[in-house]
Chains A and B, each alone.
Chain A
Amino acid sequence: MPFNIIVLIKQIVDIDLLKTDPSTGSPQVNNLPMRLENLSKNAIEEAVRIREKHGGKIYGICFGTEKSTSAMKEAYAMGVDEGFVITGYQGNDPSRTAKVLAEKIRTIPHDIILMGNQSAESYTGILPGRISRILGEPLLSNGVKIELQDGKAKVTMAMESENVTAEAPCPVIISVTQEINEPRLPPVMQILQAGKKKINVESTTVQGRTDLKVLSNLAPKSERKKIIFEDPEKGIPEIVKAIKEAMK
């Protein structure tokens, strides 16, 4: 039985390249390239694997900005069939993001919604619960393994101290962890083809919250001594001294 899948795709600034100012601690986000958020990639990969096995169609939805078409192209290259970019994202506001995404999801008949459990940059992790409640679809979260059969999804969910396997009838929302798969690197041909494919760009009227004020956003101060020995013979006695001190 084929499955229609919706993948929720977030675009973020490339946090691996992000530097913070050594004197002020402020993050230097201007001019940083944008890329697919890590867990969104795992979600796309899982969608593609499901389609390879069972057939079906993969829709991608990204709530972002005009610039997010580049993320959708990456998603196309990985195997997403049809993408929607909704513009108007103004920063991390999960209640707004959930409403915007749910509004779009409602217009697409689907069996499964795939998303990351916690995005790599903002790390809020409450979107899966919110979307599940808005749409009234059951949530199987933190998936490390997904099996599909007879219109049901069976998911092994990684909790802190145990793995819990549970199932629910489709349509169902599944959030995935980083461990579920290794996202593919698409071949050049696929990247070139993806560049030509149409992306649907839409906008939203959903308003964000107004009570939230950012007081500061800075790198934590590091007061480490940074005494680095390039000659181990010199460093070892110093470190042994420090260890003995710590053992007291």
Chain B
Amino acid sequence: MKALVFSDMDDHTIQLLSYFSGMMDTDCVTSGHKAAQIAEFCAGTVYSLKNQFFPDTISSVIADLHKKNAYDYLVIGSTAVGRDVAGILGEELGIDVASEITEFRIDGDSCVTKRFFYGGKTVIEESSKSRILTVMPGISEPKKSTKPGNVVEITGPDSRISLVNRENKSAGAVDLEKAGIIVSVGRGIGNKENIEKIRPLAEAVRGEIAGSRPICLDYHWLSEDRQVGLSGKKVKPKMYIALGISGQIQHIAGMRGSKVVVAINKDKSAPIFEEADYGIVGDIFQVVPKIVDLLKQ
């Protein structure tokens, strides 16, 4: 079997190649900057698109490669661009899409996939003849291919939309997926300045600071790459410490893989306690300093 992999996020491309190379031969399309590095994870051909990153262009390139090489699966990283690419390809090629999957296996002439449903409250397992997949980040660890692939530069047709401006988000070098301990803050933190009050805890446990969606996206108290949840990062640290987070299901969907969960919330009935190993009903500004003191002893 043969798959063509695409994501506009280089890390994600590498994860997808690592996961699917175990099951089938892989080629890859990349619109990122690291074609040579990606080739170390892809035994087949890496098609490198330069300065072209709109979904209509990318889907047209993938559709042409598919017509030439008859792939069994088109594996698309689930990102803003990736989802659009998958939708366009689905219509272009008349192929069904299994979207937002977190697991995949082949079963005869079908595939079995898993993904979240009902906003993250359930996991749905489906069997289908879908041949296009959109895959959530975090599906596997990077694993180099036994032999590196070759890089071929290609150009696609012009997009029908024209670029006006590109602006990098204030993404730092944070790698939440690799953090051993994550200290995560929610609206209970109150304001941006208060984040400094919990920083000593993050330092004492040598952890990374993350946040719920309102903290990262709506208020920008933390950068967007620190958002945990259904529409943010999916993290699996050894310990996840949730401070002033209510535990709405879209948040839980991002931290469910954590080994141990600690929650501090002043509301006894907050749903986060249903998803916690250890919980304290209390005010984070009183409890956190005491934890830090005791840790230092």
Contacts and interface: CB of A to CB of B under 8 A. Distances in A.
B268 interface: yes
A48 B105 CA distance: 45
A168 B122 contact: no
Contact of B121 (A219, A239, A244): A219
Given A228-B276, A230-B281, A164 B165 contact: yes
B169 A134 contact: no
A126 B97 contact: yes
Interface string A218-246: 11101011111110100111111011111
A161 to B, nearest CB: 5
B225 A226 contact: no
Given A219-B121, A243-B291, A162 B169 contact: yes
B56 A121 contact: no
B96 interface: yes
Interface string A34-56: 00000000000000000000000
Secondary structure at the A interface, as helix, strand, loop or mixed, is mixed
A182 to B, nearest CB: 10
Interface in B78-107: 78-81, 83-92, 96-97, 99-100
Interface stretch (A59-67, A135-143, A197-205): A135-143
Given A126-B134, A168-B160, A229-B279, A15 B118 contact: yes
B262 A179 contact: no
B259 A246 contact: yes
Contacts of B80: 117, 141-142, 157-160
B280 interface: yes
Interface residues of B, number: 90
Given A27-B118, A158-B80, A132 B164 contact: no
A232 B277 contact: no
Contacts of B96: 95, 209, 211-212
B180 interface: yes
Contacts of A164: 53, 163, 165-167
B56 A126 contact: no
A47 B257 CA distance: 39
Interface stretch (B14-22, B109-117, B190-198): B109-117
A192 interface: no
Given A232-B287, A239-B291, A165 B239 contact: no
Nearest to B98: A212
Given A125-B99, A228-B273, A243 B181 contact: yes
Contacts of A243: 181, 205, 239, 241, 262, 291, 295
Interface in A118-174: 118, 120-134, 138-142, 154, 157-168
A142 to B, nearest CB: 5
Interface string B262-279: 100000100001111111
B164 A15 contact: no
B259 A213 contact: no
Nearest to A223: B277
B282 interface: yes
B97 to A, nearest CB: 5
B51 interface: no
A139 B55 contact: yes
B167 A162 contact: yes
A130 B134 CA distance: 14
Given A15-B121, A217-B125, A236-B291, 6 more contacts: A15-B119, A165-B165, A219-B121, A222-B274, A229-B281, A246-B205
Interface of B: 8-9, 53-56, 59, 78-81, 83-92, 96-97, 99-100, 110, 112, 115-130, 134, 160-169, 171, 180-181, 205-206, 217-218, 225, 230-231, 238-239, 241, 249, 256, 259-262, 268, 273-282, 286-287, 290-291, 294-295
22 contacts: A25-B122, A27-B122, A120-B119, A121-B118, A122-B117, A123-B120, A124-B100, A126-B99, A129-B55, A130-B91, A139-B55, A165-B167, A166-B163, A178-B217, A209-B96, A209-B128, A211-B96, A212-B127, A217-B123, A224-B277, A228-B273, A246-B260
